[in-house]
């Protein structure tokens, strides 16, 4: 209790606003700016149809992020399970309406806006797990039975999302959860056990995979086997990326993207376009920017004085990392094509909103870093 704001539960909104980590926000703006530039290039030098809307979405998302950041961390803690439950219900709803409707539907239409519960779940699950582990002592975590509840919390949404079917999101949910388990202090050997089990279960999982998912895995293993269909994306992406070379072809000078050899260049394959036009230098530049955001994510989380905030921060940061890694690894042919966008750069509103809400929570963790919270959610005295 040596800091004066430590027990100052009612920080004024103005002071909270000042406590937002503005350098971090600047990094996000920079990244989104790169996104706008790339979308401008993808449209052959037009703000329409992507670049301008991307900028507007980011601006809106930024406001949402700040609002989220200003909400007291304890409110998030209090409503973590509620949010999780609501999201889970929405997932079930999507599953039901998807079954009734036309195949793989992933969203609920709200008029202006398509709500995608699987995307929301990336935040809700992190919140719920952070809250769960916030309540557990080191001894609790050591007990295997203590881990059953959080495993169930992961399993339910994963099963639903996998049925949609959305392999990418499922992987992200599992891995972000795994990261929370890990930093919460679950023993290393337990991870080893889970991984071994996973390896054993793999052939079993193969049976339950959709044809197109199997196809993607097979294509990943040998993209040249089917160059015109499923392998086309990876081959064209590698060609575009490789032909960019060290220095790139120059802004708007990329050929493969503009000539439409590169599929979905404004969404999942935008990194390829960036690497074609700006070369390896540009790619490393963007990775560095992402790296800096990740480093700040870790620093801000570690600096927090409550376990909920720390876990929440790391959960959000890891989710962000997974977006970055899966997308870039995918376009470079390191992992199968799973349909994960490049954060803040790919065109698409849902992922942008998810990310900015996530970063809003991270900011909230930072703003409320000195609030201590009891294991049952009450204030530590």
Partner 1 sequence: MMYRDSERHKLFNRRTAILAGGKAVLLSALVGRMYYLQVIEADRYRTLADENRINLRLLAPLRGRVVDRFGVAIADNQKNYRAILISENTRDLDYTLNMLDQIIPISPTERKRIIRDVKRFRNFVPVMVRQNLNWEEVSQIEVNAPDLPGIFIDVGQSRNYLYGRDLAHILGYVAAVSPGEAEGDPLLELPGFRIGKAGVEKVYDVALRGSSGSSQVEVNAFGRMIRELNRREGQPGAEVMLTIDLGLQRMVSKRLADESAASVVIDIQTGDVLAMASTPGFDPNAFTRGLKSSEWQALISNPKSPLTNKAVAGRYSPGSTFKMAVLLAALDKGVISPTAKIFCKGYLELGNAKFHCWKKHGHGNVDSKSAITQSCDVYFYEIAKRTGIDRIAEMAKRLGFGTKLGIDLPGERAGLVPNKRWKRGALDAPWHQGETLIAGIGQGYLLATPLQLAVMTARLVNGGVAVTPRLTRALAGVDADNGAENKSGFESLNLPKAHLDLVTEAMSDVVNSRRGTARKSKIVDPNFAMGGKTGTVQVRRISKAERDTGVVKNKDLPWKFRDHALFVGFAPVDKPTYAVAVVVEHGGGGSSVAAPIARDILTEAQLRRSARAANIVSRDDTSPPSSDKPSGEG
Side-chain-side CA neighbours of 218 within 13 Å: the count stands at 13
The tokens describing 101, both together, are 């409707």
Which of 102, 188 has the CB closer to partner 1? Answer: 188
Minimal distance, residue 224 CB to partner 1, in Å = 12
C-beta of 114 vs 305, nearer to partner 1: 305
- Residue keyed to tokens 């961390």: 73
Least distance to partner 1, CB of residue 109, Å: 31
CA distance 378 to 74: 9
Nearest approach, Cβ of residue 138 and partner 1 (Å): 6
Token duo for residue 342: 């490049």
Q: Is 261 in the site for partner 1 (CB under 8 A)?
A: yes
Residue-wise DSSP of 205-221: HHHHS-HHHHHHHHHHH
Per-residue mark of binding to partner 1, 132-151 (x: CB under 8 A): -----xx-------------
Contact status, residue 357 vs residue 65, Cβ threshold 8 Å: yes
Angle, nearest 10°, between helix axes 349-367 and 73-100?
Answer: 160
197 binds partner 1 (CB under 8 A): no
Residue range at the interface with partner 1 (CB under 8 A); choices 28-36, 151-159, 201-209, 325-333: 325-333
182 counts as binding partner 1 under rule CB under 8 A: yes
Give me the residues paired with residue 114 across strands. 109
Site map for partner 1, 277-316, x if CB under 8 A? Answer: --xx--xx--x--xx--xx--x--xx--xxx--xx--x--
How far apart are the C-alpha atoms of 305 and 98, rounded to whole Å? 43
Q: What is the separation of C-alpha 222 from the centre of its chain, rounded to a whole number of angstroms?
A: 28
Tell me which residues touch partner 1 (CB under 8 A).
Answer: 137-138, 179, 182-185, 236, 238-246, 255-256, 258-261, 275, 279-280, 283-284, 287, 290-291, 294-295, 298, 301-302, 305-307, 310-311, 314, 318, 321, 324-325, 328-329, 332-334, 372, 374-375, 380
């Amino acid at each position: 209790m040596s800091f004066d704001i430590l027990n100052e539960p009612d920080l004024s909104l103005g002071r909270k606003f000042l406590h937002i980590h503005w350098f971090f926000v600047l990094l996000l703006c920079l990244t989104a700016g790169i996104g706008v530039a790339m979308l401008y290039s993808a449209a052959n030098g037009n703000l329409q149809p992507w670049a301008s809307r991307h900028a507007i979405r980011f601006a809106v998302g930024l406001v949402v992020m700040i609002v989220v950041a200003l909400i007291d961390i304890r409110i998030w803690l209090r409503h973590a399970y509620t949010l999780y439950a609501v999201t889970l219900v929405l997932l079930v709803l999507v599953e039901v309406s998807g079954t009734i409707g036309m195949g793989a539907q992933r969203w609920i239409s709200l008029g202006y806006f398509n709500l995608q519960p699987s995307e929301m779940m990336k935040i809700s699950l992190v919140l719920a797990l952070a809250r769960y582990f916030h309540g557990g002592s080191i001894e609790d975590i050591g007990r295997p039975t203590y881990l059953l509840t959080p495993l169930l919390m992961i399993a339910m949404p994963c099963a639903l999302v996998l049925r949609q079917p959305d392999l990418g999101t499922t992987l992200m949910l599992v891995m972000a959860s795994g990261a929370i388990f890990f930093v919460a202090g679950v023993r290393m050997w337990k991870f080893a056990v889970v991984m071994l089990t996973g390896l054993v279960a793999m052939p079993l999982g193969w049976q339950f995979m959709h044809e197109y998912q199997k196809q993607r895995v097979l294509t990943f293993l040998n993209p040249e086997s089917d160059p015109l269909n499923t392998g086309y994306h990876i081959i064209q992406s590698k060609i575009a990326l490789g032909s960019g070379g060290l220095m790139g072809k120059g802004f708007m000078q990329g050929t493969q993207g503009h000539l439409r050899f590169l599929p979905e260049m404004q969404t999942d394959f935008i990194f390829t376009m960036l690497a074609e036009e700006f070369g390896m230098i540009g790619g490393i530049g963007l990775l560095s920017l992402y790296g800096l955001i990740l480093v700040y994510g870790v620093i801000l989380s570690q600096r927090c004085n409550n376990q909920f905030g720390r876990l929440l921060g790391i959960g959000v940061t890891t989710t962000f990392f997974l977006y970055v890694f899966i997308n870039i690894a995918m376009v470079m042919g390191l992992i199968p094509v799973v349909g994960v966008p490049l954060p803040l750069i790919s065109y698409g509103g849902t992922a942008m909103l998810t990310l900015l809400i996530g970063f809003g929570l991270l900011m909230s963790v930072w703003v409320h870093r000195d609030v201590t919270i009891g294991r049952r959610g009450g204030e530590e005295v």
